[in-house]
């Protein structure tokens, strides 16, 4: 049953992406991007990745879409018509896709419990989380305790991105015009 | 947005629930899906909603730029300090076991503090980035 | 035939990733390139998470009475990757705003022709 739901949602995502390639109105493209992220979040739920679905829905369908719309408000809304026929990109994409499909023929089948990816390190975490940390959510335990160093690096990356945006666009308090009594507030 | 009465009223009604849900996700990340990142993003989303409806000035009155900048750095500082504290207590860096009487309690406390640091930084960065985009002018 | 259903998931995801890659390579508008990059990233995440799925398992939150869980390790890696992805997108959008201020346009060909005529 999971496979059937998966295939339906993935087909919806394929339709969304094809629409994104063709449509030139950037507002519609950004909205389709938000829809794509939400469909990806529902795929994550059917694949038992609830933490990842939570994050993808909040971050991809929420913050990312808001930032794109804010940028659209500061720049243009329509994409220019492409000047020449994209033969070379199409060729590159088809060759890359063919190589990836050839590589996927060697992989373990979807859902196989004896795949190497599942029998190597994961059973250690699943067995020892209760004993070492005592919290039921294995993903949080691995993220914050077993692999806490990687999470420190990730927080530093977010910190750097915040610093980068402040450096590029400047302080937002100086950019605010003082409110006058008759002007309408807008964001 | 002065004419959109429904938007303003509904936003004011919804905001406490969104913030409460963000706090719930932050502190119950141990028992269900959740944790620092999701909570930080939900927290930032509440203030971004407020800023979209009431203007960046109103948001700046609640959260001045200095507090957000302190939050961006403070979360990372908290995370790294937990590691240094473990070093000073005699264990490896970011090994939470010596922080309390039993090893399990130490792990609980360590995970709590670390996720708090992550949540503070993520929320501050998301809010700062949005306010910077919203208040930017071309001159 | 059973192989086909076992592999079909991967093939659709590869198609989605390639469509995102096509948007990045073939379109000149900077914002559309960033949207394409997001699509590509999300497809790669789906590929990784589907490696960890176990048929008959459940979400990796320990409860009494459940024996089989899905692999939690890809979830941890992809959680980090999602947040790093949004950080990259935010920086890219800030760069697009500055480019628009300097060049007056965000189409790649116009920027190139302005650069070459300088």
* Over residues A85-103, mean pLDDT: 91
| C79 CB within 8 Å of a chain B CB | yes
Option in C32, C71, C105 nearest A26 (CB): C32
Q: How is chain B split into domains, by residue range?
A: 5-134
φ and ψ of C55, to 5 deg: -65, 125
B 35-74: CB under 8 A from A: 35, 37-38, 41-42, 44-45, 48, 51-58, 60, 64-65, 69, 72-73
For residue A187, being part of any structural domain is answered with: no
Show which subunits contact B, needing at least 3 CB pairs below 8 angstroms: A, C
ipTM metric? 0.92
Which of A110-114, B99-103, C45-49 is the most confident on average? Answer: C45-49
Q: What would the CATH number be for the domain defined by C2-117?
A: 1.10.287.3510
d(CA A93, CA A61): 26
Structure tokens at C92: 């890219």
pLDDT score of A130: 86
pLDDT greater than 60 at residue A181: no
d(CA B37, CA C115): 40
**Chain-centre distance of CA B39, in angstroms?**
7
pLDDT digits (tens, 9 = 90+) for C35-76: 999 999 999 999 999 888 888 888 888 888 888 888 889 999
* Over residues B100-112, mean pLDDT: 88
Instruction: Write out the residue range of the structural domain in which residue A19 sits.
Output: 1-83
Residue contact B134–A187, C-beta within 8 A = yes
C106 vs C93, higher pLDDT: C93
For residue A122, being part of any structural domain is answered with: no
Residue contact B122–C90, C-beta within 8 A = no
Q: How is chain C split into domains, by residue range?
A: 2-117
For residue A59, being part of any structural domain is answered with: yes
Query: How many folded domains does chain A comprise?
Result: 1
Using alpha carbons, list the distances in angstroms from residue B25 to A127, B19, C26: 25, 10, 41
For residue A134, being part of any structural domain is answered with: no
Structure tokens at B33: 């899906």
For residue A67, being part of any structural domain is answered with: yes
pLDDT digits (tens, 9 = 90+) for C12-29: 899 999 999 999 999 889
pTM of the model: 0.90
pLDDT score of A177: 59
For residue A31, being part of any structural domain is answered with: yes
- CA C90 to chain A, closest CA, distance in angstroms equals 7
Percent of chain B with pLDDT over 70: 97
* Angle, CA of A99, C34 and A20, to the nearest 5°: 75
pLDDT greater than 90 at residue C31: yes
| A156 CB within 8 Å of a chain B CB | yes
Percent of chain C with pLDDT over 90: 49
pLDDT greater than 50 at residue A187: no
CB atoms within 10 A of CB A160: 14
Q: Which of A43, A162, A163, A187 is nearest to A110 (CA)?
A: A43
């Amino acid at each position: 049953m999971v496979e059937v739901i998966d295939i339906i949602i993935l087909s919806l995502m394929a339709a969304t992406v094809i629409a994104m390639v063709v449509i030139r109105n950037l507002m519609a493209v950004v909205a389709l991007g938000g829809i794509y992220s939400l469909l990806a979040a529902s795929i994550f739920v059917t694949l038992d990745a609830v933490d990842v679905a939570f994050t993808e829905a909040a971050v991809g369908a929420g913050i990312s879409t808001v930032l794109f719309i804010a940028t659209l408000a500061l720049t243009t809304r329509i994409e220019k018509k492409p000047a020449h026929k994209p033969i070379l990109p199409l060729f590159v994409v088809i060759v890359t896709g063919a190589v990836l499909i050839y590589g996927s023929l060697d992989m373990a089948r979807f859902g196989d419990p004896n795949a190497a990816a599942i029998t190597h390190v994961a059973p250690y975490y699943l067995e020892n989380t209760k004993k070492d940390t005592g919290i039921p959510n294995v993903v949080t335990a691995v993220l914050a305790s077993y692999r806490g160093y990687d999470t420190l690096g990730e927080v530093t990356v977010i910190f750097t991105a915040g610093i980068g945006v402040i450096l590029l666009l400047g302080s937002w308090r100086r950019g605010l015009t003082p409110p006058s009594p008759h002007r309408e507030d807008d964001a | 947005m002065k004419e959109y009465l429904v938007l303003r009223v509904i936003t004011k009604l919804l905001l406490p629930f969104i913030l409460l849900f963000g706090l719930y996700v932050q502190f119950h990340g141990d028992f269900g899906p959740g944790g620092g990142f999701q909570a930080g993003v939900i927290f930032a989303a509440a203030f971004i909603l407020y800023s979209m409806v009431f203007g960046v000035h109103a948001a700046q009155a609640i959260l001045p730029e200095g507090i957000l900048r302190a939050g961006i750095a403070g979360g990372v500082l908290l995370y790294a300090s937990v590691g240094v504290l473990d070093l000073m207590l005699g264990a490896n860096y970011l090994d939470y076991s010596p922080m309390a009487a039993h090893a399990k309690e130490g792990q609980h406390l360590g995970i709590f503090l670390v996720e708090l640091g992550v949540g503070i930084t993520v929320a501050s960065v998301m809010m700062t980035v949005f306010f910077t985009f919203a208040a930017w002018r071309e001159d | 035939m059973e192989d086909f259903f076992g592999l079909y998931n991967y093939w659709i995801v590869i198609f989605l990733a390639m469509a995102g890659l096509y948007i990045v390579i073939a379109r000149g508008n900077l914002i559309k390139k960033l949207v394409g990059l997001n699509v590509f990233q999300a497809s790669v995440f789906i590929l990784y998470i589907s490696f960890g799925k176990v048929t008959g398992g459940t979400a990796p939150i320990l409860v009494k009475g459940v024996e089989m869980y899905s692999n939690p390790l890809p979830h941890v890696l992809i959680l980090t990757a999602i947040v790093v992805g949004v950080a990259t997108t935010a920086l890219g959008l800030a760069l697009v705003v500055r480019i628009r201020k300097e060049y007056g346009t965000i189409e790649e060909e116009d920027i190139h022709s302005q650069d070459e005529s300088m």
